[in-house]
Amino acid sequence: MKRYANLAGNSPITAYEITDDSITIEFNLAHTYLYTYTSAGKKNIEQMKNLAMAGRGLSTFISKVVKERYAEKIR
């Protein structure tokens, strides 16, 4: 997984991993969730990828838009 830059300095997101049709997000070095095109929608996943790479806004986007539409809680 790649370290999330957390440019705002207050995100619970610590890391992410991007594939063609999904993104896996690690929160607080403890919980990891897989979000897919099927679970959250292609447009949302692509936006999450962009925010992850930018290092800002991902947690807010998840809490306001995607919410609990993950495909799997990995841990």
Helices (H), 22-70: 37-40, 42-54, 58-61
Q: What are phi and psi of 17, to 5 degrees?
A: -140, 130
Rounded-to-5 percentages of helix, strand, coil across the chain: 35, 30, 35
Q: Looking at the predicted structure, is the pLDDT value of residue 2 above 90?
A: yes
Per-residue confidence (pLDDT) for residue 29, from 0 to 100 = 86
Per-residue confidence (pLDDT) for residue 58, from 0 to 100 = 98
Per-residue confidence (pLDDT) for residue 12, from 0 to 100 = 97
Span 6-44, pLDDT tens digits: 999 999 999 999 999 999 999 998 999 999 999 999 999
* Alpha-carbon gap, residue 1 to 17, rounded angstroms: 5
Q: Which residues, 6 or more positions from 9, have their beta carbon under 8 angstroms from its beta carbon?
A: none
Please state the pTM of the whole predicted model: 0.95
Tokens 């790479």 -> residue: 53
